[in-house]
Amino acid sequence: MAVYSDADAHAAHVAACDEAVHIGGPRPQESYLRGDVILDAARRAGADAIHPGYGFLSENAEFAVACARAGITFVGPTPAAIAAMGSKSAAKSLMEKAGVPLTPGYHGDRQEPDYLLTQAQRIGFPVLIKAVAGGGGKGMRRVDDSAGFAAALASCQREAAASFKDDRVLVEKYLTSARHIEVQVFGDHHGNVVYLFERDCSVQRRHQKVIEEAPAPGMTPERRRQMGEAAVAAARAVDYRGAGTVEFIATGDGFYFMEMNTRLQVEHPVTEMITGLDLVEWQLRVASGERLPRAQGELSIAGHAIEARIYAEDPTRDFMPSIGRLEHLQAPVQSAEVRVDTGVRAGDEITPFYDPMLAKLIVHGASRAEAISRMRMALAQYQIVGVRTNVEFLGRLMSAPAFVEARLDTALIERERNHLFAQRTETTPAMWDLVAQASWRAQREYGKGASVPRPTSPWDDRSGWTLGVRGERRWKFREGEVEREIAVPPAADDPAQGVVVRGNELHLFLEGEHRVFHRIDPYLPATEAADVHGGLLAIMPGRVLAVHVKAGDEVAKGAPLVVLEAMKMEQTITAPAAGKIARVLCAPGDQVREGAELLAFADQ
* Positions marked active-site: 263
Contact 535, 575 (CB under 8 A): no
Give CA–CA dist 223/258, Å, rounded.
17
Sequence-distant (6+) residues with CB within 8 A of 63 are 35, 38, 52, 57, 74
Q: Is 171 left (phi over 0), alpha (psi -120 to 50) or beta?
A: beta
Nearest in space to 601 (alpha carbons), one of 544, 556, 564? 556
Give the single-character DSSP code of 522: T
Give CA–CA dist 225/159, Å, rounded.
36
User: What's at 380, amino acid-wise?
Assistant: A
Sequence-distant (6+) residues with CB within 8 A of 77 are 64, 85, 187, 238, 240, 241, 242, 244, 262
Say how many residues make up the chain: 604
Nearest in space to 443 (alpha carbons), one of 478, 486, 494? 494
Q: Around Cβ 496, how many Cβ atoms within 10 Å?
A: 11
120 by Cβ neighbours in 10 Å (0-12 / 13-18 / 19+) ranks as buried
Contact 194, 185 (CB under 8 A): yes
